Amino acid sequence: MGRSLRSVLIAAGVLAALGIILAVVLFTAPKEENSSSSLPIDFGWDEDDGVNITKHFVDSALRVCVKNSEGEFEILRDSRTNADGKEEYFWKTDALGNVAPDELQLKYFVETFAGLVGESVVEEGTENLSRYGLDSPRAVVELDFDDGLSTEVDLGIRNPLKDNLVYCRYQNTVYLVDYSAVEKAFHDARSFAELILTEAYNEDTGYPEYIKIESRDNTEPVELELIEARKDIDDTVLKNSYRLKSPFSIELDSESGGKLYSGLCGLMMNACEFLEKSDENLAACGLDDPAVRVSYKYNGKESELLIGNKCGDGYYAALSGTDGIFSIAESRAPWVGFNLFTVISKRPVGAYIYHCESIDVILPEEELRFTIDDESKLFYMNGREIPSAEFKELYTKLTGSFGEELYLTQTDGAPVLTVRFNYKSDCTAIYGGSSDTLSFNSFDGRKYAVNFNGKTIFKVGEITVNDLVESVKALGRE
């Protein structure tokens, strides 16, 4: 081995030994208490998410006080035993009076300011606060923590170039923070009111048992009643639905009509407008003489929803047994100005075929009685067995859609076809009676009036009626 190569190897060995000695010294030497190599406290925030400002957890917040141009209110920490028998913290405010608070919104607000995160640092130690609207803050949020710290966050104007950000100051440093996260600090305590006033639908609550809608747009009340789940002609199990009980009896359309009852489940408001239902407030909102009054029974409780004057894009509303006057979005108030024709089923009869004991079909020249044997699934016409497929096809037509046009003027012309559906005794509760009668009466040449249980409800074209009559006659000739 050459001398030069031997020298290189010896030098490399010496350097490696020195490196090992240095590593041992570094890792075994005692660290000073404030050494920069000490591990930082992990607050659970990701630095990539922004700038950590207040650096506390929600459970450590004892008190939050909000001050702004609308006044001030406090949010306080309290404790209770949860369903698992463990103690848990929650936050409350007395500023809402008897109006129920949204506890999740209170907790989220406290959590936001306890561990406030900014998008960026704007300026440290500035004395020119006016440029940020912080010389006279738009809102001040005072914070008391269980570690003894009492501090505050000042909120100023929104960033002119980024409207979704707002300036805030904490301990003489100005930051930009997300406006939507701190927005409630600019409002009064009403922004923390619970806005879901009824329990959401579930298997235990079901849907409302009945609904009565009284409004200035209708001369008489509209009443709805619940229909129990049943089957369709093809044995498909239908969900619970509703029947219009007044001003005439017919089932509701499952989609457009369904909003009239599903809207009462998990009834959601836009905002709390007044904390008190004083006579003065009710009158100011048009709720002393409401435009719409919805009476209903849901989850075993009878309630009344009042809807009054316009409020922004919605209406003022109040619910019996619930403090406060609220606003409700127009899209969540289907009881206002609804068109009866758009919410009812265009099928006057929607009975499950095996719920019928018999069906009487009356033509001007003959009468036919169809009987249905539920056990054997056989069908008879005037005592004679007929093919199942052909009768089911006729039944589908007899229970079809005839609602081409809503027409409520009573018309009692000569019927060209009358069909009476006779229900089994154990099914009368489902259909509100022992039978339903459908007749097609002469009207104005090309139209027939559709009478349901003696009351005119629709107009229908002669082509539809002629096809129905021919189908009955064709089966009768077999």
Answer whether 154's CB lies under 8 Å from 168's CB: yes
Place of tokens 């406060």: 324
Confidence band of 347 (pLDDT split at 50, 70, 90) = confident
251, two tokens? 């089932």
Q: How far apart are CA 346 and CA 252, in angstroms?
A: 8
Answer whether 180's CB lies under 8 Å from 158's CB: no
Clarify whether residues 101 and 181 are in a common domain: yes
Q: How far apart are CA 360 and CA 362, in angstroms?
A: 6
Least confident of 28-37, 82-91, 195-204: 28-37
Least confident of 121-130, 231-240, 329-338, 423-432: 231-240
**Mean pLDDT across the stretch 144-150?**
97
For residue 93, the SS3 value is coil
Residue numbers of the domain that contains 291: 210-343
**In this predicted model, which residue has the larger pLDDT, 161 or 46?**
161
Answer whether 291's CB lies under 8 Å from 333's CB: no
CA angle 135, 71, 188 (to 5 degrees): 110
Clarify whether residues 135 and 221 are in a common domain: no
Does a structural domain hold residue 12? no
**Mean pLDDT across the stretch 55-69?**
97
Does a structural domain hold residue 10? no
* pLDDT(468) > 50: yes
Clarify whether residues 462 and 397 are in a common domain: yes
* pLDDT(19) > 70: no
423, two tokens? 């229900």
DSSP assignment string, 169-229: EETTEEEEEEHHHHGGGGS-GGGGB--B-SPPP-TTT-S-SEEEEEETT-SS-EEEEEE--
Least confident of 32-36, 93-97, 108-112, 386-390: 32-36
Clarify whether residues 363 and 328 are in a common domain: no
pLDDT digits over 64-123, tens only? 999 999 999 999 999 999 999 999 999 999 999 999 999 999 999 999 999 999 999 999
**Mean pLDDT across the stretch 156-177?**
96
Clarify whether residues 385 and 338 are in a common domain: no
Q: How far apart are CA 170 and CA 56, in angstroms?
A: 14
Clarify whether residues 219 and 321 are in a common domain: yes
Q: Where does a domain end: 142, 157, 192?
A: 192
Clarify whether residues 297 and 220 are in a common domain: yes
Clarify whether residues 59 and 177 are in a common domain: yes
**In this predicted model, which residue has the larger pLDDT, 446 or 354?**
354
356, two tokens? 């019928």
Q: Where does a domain end: 161, 192, 223?
A: 192
Q: Which helix (H) or strand (E) holds 154?
A: strand 150-158
Q: What is the pLDDT of residue 405?
A: 87
What percent of the chain is predicted at pLDDT more than 70?
87
DSSP assignment string, 322-371: S-SEEEEEGGG-TTSS--HHHHB-S-S----GGGEEEEEEE-SS-EEEEE
Answer whether 289's CB lies under 8 Å from 232's CB: no
Q: How far apart are CA 250 and CA 400, in angstroms?
A: 13
Confidence band of 247 (pLDDT split at 50, 70, 90) = confident
**Mean pLDDT across the stretch 10-15?**
46
* pLDDT(211) > 70: yes
Clarify whether residues 410 and 437 are in a common domain: yes
Does a structural domain hold residue 13? no
Tell me the whole-structure pTM to 2 decimals: 0.76
Other beta carbons less than 10 A from residue 164's beta carbon? 12
Q: Where does a domain end: 158, 192, 226?
A: 192
**Torsional sign, CA 61, 62, 66, 67:** negative
Structural domains counted in the chain: 3
* pLDDT(15) > 50: no
Confidence band of 469 (pLDDT split at 50, 70, 90) = very high
Q: What is the pLDDT of residue 13?
A: 52
DSSP strand pairing (61-68 vs 378-381): unpaired
Answer whether 264's CB lies under 8 Å from 176's CB: no
* pLDDT(303) > 70: yes
CB burial of residue 76 (10 Å; 0-12, 13-18, 19+): middle
Clarify whether residues 329 and 236 are in a common domain: yes
Q: What is the pLDDT of residue 350?
A: 82
**Mean pLDDT across the stretch 116-143?**
95
> 92 Cβ partners below 8 Å, 6+ apart?
75, 76, 78, 101, 103, 106
Confidence band of 26 (pLDDT split at 50, 70, 90) = very low
Does a structural domain hold residue 28? no
Q: Which helix (H) or strand (E) holds 113?
A: helix 103-114
Which strands form 271-274's sheet, in the order they lie side by side? 250-251, 241-246, 222-227, 210-215, 292-298, 301-311, 314-319, 325-329, 271-274
Clarify whether residues 327 and 371 are in a common domain: no
Clarify whether residues 188 and 64 are in a common domain: yes
What is the pLDDT of the chain when averaged over all its residues? 86
| Nearest in space to 334 (alpha carbons), one of 406, 408, 253 | 253
**Mean pLDDT across the stretch 352-356?**
91
Q: How far apart are CA 242 and CA 210, in angstroms?
A: 9
Answer whether 475's CB lies under 8 Å from 386's CB: yes
